[in-house]
Structure formats: structure tokens, C-alpha cells
């Protein structure tokens, strides 16, 4: 089982991101479970959503306590919420930011992990460019596909089109593709090539 925890703020599409991720995995024939950490939804309040992927039926209903991957939609949460809680040493981290892990003040923590599994992507900027609104969720799913290779970009695009339609869908697909490209070209340039 592969477990993902998504942190963000109300209004950033955190819950929708987890749902779309589960749809993408379902389209690849896998079992997937997505659910929010339930609360009184308020714009701007910290929000968490979870997604589990597996090749068999998922029965577990506890929140994701030991994630294999973290998607952080809002870097201002890094010092407010225990976003890294329970993360595996081999875990993936994807942060929506234009800054480095060091500049975000989490450089030391990052160096205790597998560096090739840590990435940043300017998802808000990509969303503003392609969607016209600062909603980074779809772009981050494109980035997640590139970083973890757990799902294909095509499946992410199909999931976005299942959730949205028309211009909104196509803008989000473009943002996801741009984030995917941003990370794959970045990873090609990177010198580290540690195998899984």
C-alpha cells in the first residue's frame, strides 16, 4: 500500500486533489481510497486529505499516520502544522513553492531524507498561468506523477477531466502537464541517480 497525505488550506482544492488522485489510480486498475480530515470547512484554515493506493481492496479507515508521500500545497503550513509527522525515511515530499528547502527553513530535515525524492514545484504560478486562479492542486498532481511515478500523467489528466469540464478542465490539465515537465526536466538535469 502507498499512502499519500496532502496538506493545504481551505479553498486550495486539497480534498479534490485526493479525490482526483484516487480516480487516476482507479483508471489504472488499482484500488484507491481518498478521504478528507473532516472538519468545519473554512477558507484559509489548514486542511488535510488522504489517499491510499493498493493492488487489493483497501479496508483500513484510520487517517494516514505514516505517509509514503506528502504533498504540501501551502508552504506557510511548514512551521504551523506537523506536516512531516510519521513520514517514512524513504518518503517523497512535494512542496508548492518557488523557494528551496533551505530557504523554507526545512533544509536540515530534508538532508535526513532521500534527497532525490524531495521536490518543489511553482504550482500556484502554473495554476495562475494556465487556469487563471491560484488553485495549485492539479499542477501538484502532475508533479506527483513525475516525482513518484506511481501514476501516469495521462491518468492525472483523465481524472481532472472527470472532475471538471470545459476550459477549467483543460487549464488544469495544462497546469498538471507543465508541472510534470518542470519536474522531469529538473530531474534529468540532477546529477543524483540513486535507484529505488
Q: In the chain, what's the furthest Cα-to-Cα distance?
A: 45
Asked if 9 is part of the footprint of other proteins (rule: CB under 8 A), the reply reads no
Choose which of 65, 103, 115, 190 interacts with other proteins (CB under 8 A): 65
Nearer Cβ to other proteins (71/178) = 71
Interatomic CA distance for residues 22 and 157, integer angstroms: 13
Q: Which is nearer to other proteins, 50 or 101 (CB)?
A: 50
Site membership for other proteins, residue 34 (CB under 8 A): yes
- Residue 39 touching other proteins (CB under 8 A): yes
Binding mask 142-181 for other proteins (x = CB under 8 A): ----------------------------------------
- Give 33 or 137: the residue with its C-beta nearer to other proteins: 33
Closer residue to other proteins in complex, CB, 62/108 = 62
Please, which residue, 40 or 112, has the CB nearer to other proteins?
40
Q: Compute CA distances 61 → 52, 53, 72, 142, 180, whole Å.
A: 10, 13, 22, 26, 30
SS3 content of the chain, % helix, strand, coil (to 5): 40, 20, 40
Site for other proteins contains 137 (CB under 8 A): no
Alpha carbons 51 and 19: distance in angstroms, whole number: 8
If one asks whether residue 59 binds other proteins (CB under 8 A), the answer comes out as yes
Helix (H) or strand (E) holding 81, with range, is none
Q: Are 45 and 7 in contact (CB under 8 A)?
A: no
Instruction: Select the residue interacting with other proteins from 33, 73, 96, 155 (CB under 8 A).
Output: 33
Query: Which pairs count as long-range contacts for 188-196, CB under 8 Å and 24+ apart, including other chains?
Result: 190/116, 192/115, 192/116, 193/116, 194/114, 194/116
Helix (H) / strand (E) containing 150: none
Residues forming the site for other proteins (CB under 8 A): 18-19, 22-23, 26-27, 31-40, 58-63, 65
Amino acid at each position: 500500500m502507498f499512502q499519500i497525505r496532502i496538506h493545504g488550506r481551505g479553498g486550495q482544492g486539497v480534498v479534490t486533489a485526493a479525490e482526483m488522485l484516487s480516480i487516476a489510480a482507479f483508471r489504472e486498475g488499482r484500488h484507491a481510497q481518498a478521504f478528507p480530515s473532516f472538519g468545519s470547512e473554512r477558507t484559509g484554515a489548514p486542511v488535510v486529505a488522504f489517499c491510499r493506493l493498493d493492488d487489493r481492496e483497501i479496508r483500513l479507515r484510520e487517517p494516514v499516520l505514516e505517509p509514503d508521500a506528502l504533498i504540501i500545497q501551502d508552504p506557510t503550513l511548514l512551521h504551523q502544522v506537523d506536516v512531516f509527522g510519521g513520514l517514512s525515511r524513504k518518503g517523497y515530499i512535494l512542496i508548492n513553492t518557488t523557494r528551496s528547502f533551505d530557504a523554507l527553513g526545512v533544509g536540515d530535515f530534508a538532508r535526513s531524507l532521500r534527497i532525490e525524492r524531495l521536490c518543489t514545484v511553482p504550482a500556484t504560478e502554473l495554476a495562475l498561468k494556465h487556469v487563471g486562479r491560484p488553485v495549485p492542486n492539479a499542477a501538484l498532481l502532475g508533479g506527483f506523477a513525475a516525482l513518484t511515478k506511481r501514476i501516469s500523467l495521462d491518468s492525472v489528466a483523465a481524472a481532472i477531466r472527470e472532475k471538471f469540464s470545459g476550459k477549467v478542465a483543460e487549464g488544469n490539465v495544462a497546469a498538471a502537464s507543465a508541472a510534470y515537465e518542470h519536474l522531469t526536466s529538473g530531474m534529468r538535469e540532477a546529477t543524483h541517480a540513486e535507484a529505488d
